[in-house]
Structure 1
Amino acid sequence: MGIAAVLTDIEGTTSDISFVKNVLFPYAAEHLPAFVREHADDPQVKHQLMLVAGEIGWVEADTETLIGVLLRWIEDDRKVTPLKTLQGMIWDVGYRQGDFTGHLYTDAHDYLQRWHQAGIELYVFSSGSVPAQKLLFGFSDFGDLTPLFSGYFDTTTGAKRERVAYQRIQAEIDLPAPCILFLSDIAEELDAARAAGMKTCELRRDGQPASGRHPVATDFTEVPCK
């Protein structure tokens, strides 16, 4: 059964991990306090702050307390949906102001284009929010690549290391699971995708030893997309 769709992670897969850690995270941390204070009464921001308060079990926490929590979550790289949503709002400003562009490996750009032209559907599954994903590809080093993609998924679909998330994605894509190839640099995510019936490929761009549990590629030129 051939590959009809590619589902790809972002960090360490299409994009350098250092871009997120050295550009996006510091930018969000620097601008988050002022952004939250300025927009705390905006309905979308207010809702996310309520979710943060619920996450820490302190529904009456004030804005400054919640800002402190969010900054600690950024430092700890917590995969918490309200944090990812607020980060996406802040990055939206940065992308549109031209403060940075979304990093994309050249081989990833070339092969995403090639697969799209070959009729293979492209999807993204990342711990970053869907709006943040669209910003990275919409303001990428290669320009606006969002027309290449048929859909995006984030942690609202489920945890990336749990099979159920990939089952939900497969149902949304509406293709047989063996026709979907999932790309990631995290073996546990690949384990979950394989448990859901998907094909998998482990990206090892950093030269670290592979898990030995999945087909391996050092870049997109080696991805077995057939």
Structure 2
Amino acid sequence: MSLAGLSYDVDAVVLDIEGTTSATGFVVDVLYPYSRSRFAALLSERGDDPEVARAVAQVRAEIGDPDADAVRVEKALNAWLDEDRKATPLKTLQGIVWSEGFARGDLVSHFYDDVVPVLRGWHAAGLRLYVYSSGSVAAQRAWFTHSPEGDLTPLVSGLYDTENAGPKQEPESYRRIAESAGVTPARLLFLSDRPGELDAARAAGWHAVGIRRPGEPYFEQGVGDHAQAGTFDEITVSRSTS
């Protein structure tokens, strides 16, 4: 599709993070090692916290070991990290660790230069913005709160992950988000670098645009037959008032 065709009349835009708003390399090279270095302390010091305990129970269920101790749970988490597996309990525990790291000032998130000005423009024009990422809601909130350009959470109307919406390559997850947000599917635009996610959004009746940035994991593969853009400012989004 030509750039002239990247124009959408919608009520809301839903954003993927890794490879779309932000560099996957930052997540892999900075955030993953940070969480790996802190899992042991989290499990030993806060194992009784309800959110941690629930995630640990999910890990035990996934590895088929209901009596797994903290060392075995940490081993499973690190193995999933090595695989880049989108396991919900891993994302939950990463989110807790990252939230604390952002709050302490150890971490500042990354956004591509074209992203924040466009998001501010869309928000000012009356468009609602949502996030749908495999990272937990807690991690998403920390990411947008502690950006290089300050707190961006006032721009965002809602956060969705694999726990409250479902897997990102299943159309039902996108139907669930549309219902939760109260937006007709045809009035939603999804931006992601992953073709399988774009396929699922389209199957649910959404508009979808693939974001292709050099150096990102899916750049060479492309986005199939979806419209594509290299930066957010190549996309024109408006909201009709009629």
TM-score grouping bracket, smaller chain normalisation: over 0.9
Distance in 2 separating the partners of 1:100 and 1:45: 21
1:181 corresponding residue in structure 2: 189
Structure 1 residue 77 displacement after superposition: 1.1
Structure 1 residue 209 displacement after superposition: 5.1
1:52 corresponding residue in structure 2: 59
Deviates more, 1:119-128 or 1:29-38: 29-38
Contact 1:88 1:132 in 2 (8 A): yes
Aligned Cα root-mean-square deviation (Å): 1.2
Trace 1:21-32 onto structure 2 (pairs within 5 A): 21-32=28-39
Bigger RCO of structures 1 and 2 (CA < 8 A, at least 6 apart): 2
Structure 1 residue 117 displacement after superposition: 0.2
2:4 corresponding residue in structure 1: none
Contact 2:40 2:70 in 1 (8 A): no
Structure 1 residue 35 displacement after superposition: 1.8
Distance in 2 separating the partners of 1:209 and 1:60: 42
Distance in 2 separating the partners of 1:44 and 1:17: 26
Match among 96, 110, 115 for residue 103 of structure 1: 110
Match among 82, 89, 96 for residue 82 of structure 1: 89
Is 1:201–2:209 an aligned residue pair? yes
Deviations for 1:151-189, whole angstroms, at most 9, x for unmatched residues?
Answer: 010001111000000010111111221110000000110
Contact 1:201 1:216 in 2 (8 A): yes
Gaps of 5+ in 2: 1-7
Deviations for 1:108-160, whole angstroms, at most 9, x for unmatched residues?
Answer: 10110000000000000000000100100000111100000100100011110
- Percent identity reads 45
Aligned residue for 1:151, secondary structure, equals strand
Structure 1 residue 42 displacement after superposition: 2.4
Deviations for 1:17-67, whole angstroms, at most 9, x for unmatched residues?
Answer: 111001111100111112211212223212211111011111111111111
Gaps of 5+ in 1: none
Contact 1:180 1:199 in 2 (8 A): yes
Distance in 2 separating the partners of 1:15 and 1:101: 12
Partner amino acid, structure 1, of 2:55: Q
Contact 2:57 2:66 in 1 (8 A): yes
Distance in 2 separating the partners of 1:57 and 1:101: 36
TM-score, normalised with respect to structure 1: 0.96
Contact 1:201 1:224 in 2 (8 A): no
Distance in 1 separating the partners of 2:237 and 2:227: 11
Partner amino acid, structure 1, of 2:176: R
Distance in 1 separating the partners of 2:223 and 2:190: 15
Structure 1 residue 75 displacement after superposition: 1.3
1:15 corresponding residue in structure 2: 22
Distance in 1 separating the partners of 2:18 and 2:124: 24
1:159 corresponding residue in structure 2: 167
Deviates more, 1:198-207 or 1:108-117: 198-207
TM-score, normalised with respect to structure 2: 0.90
Structure number with the higher helix fraction is: 1
Aligned residue for 2:66, secondary structure, equals coil
Distance in 2 separating the partners of 1:42 and 1:5: 35
2:46 corresponding residue in structure 1: 39
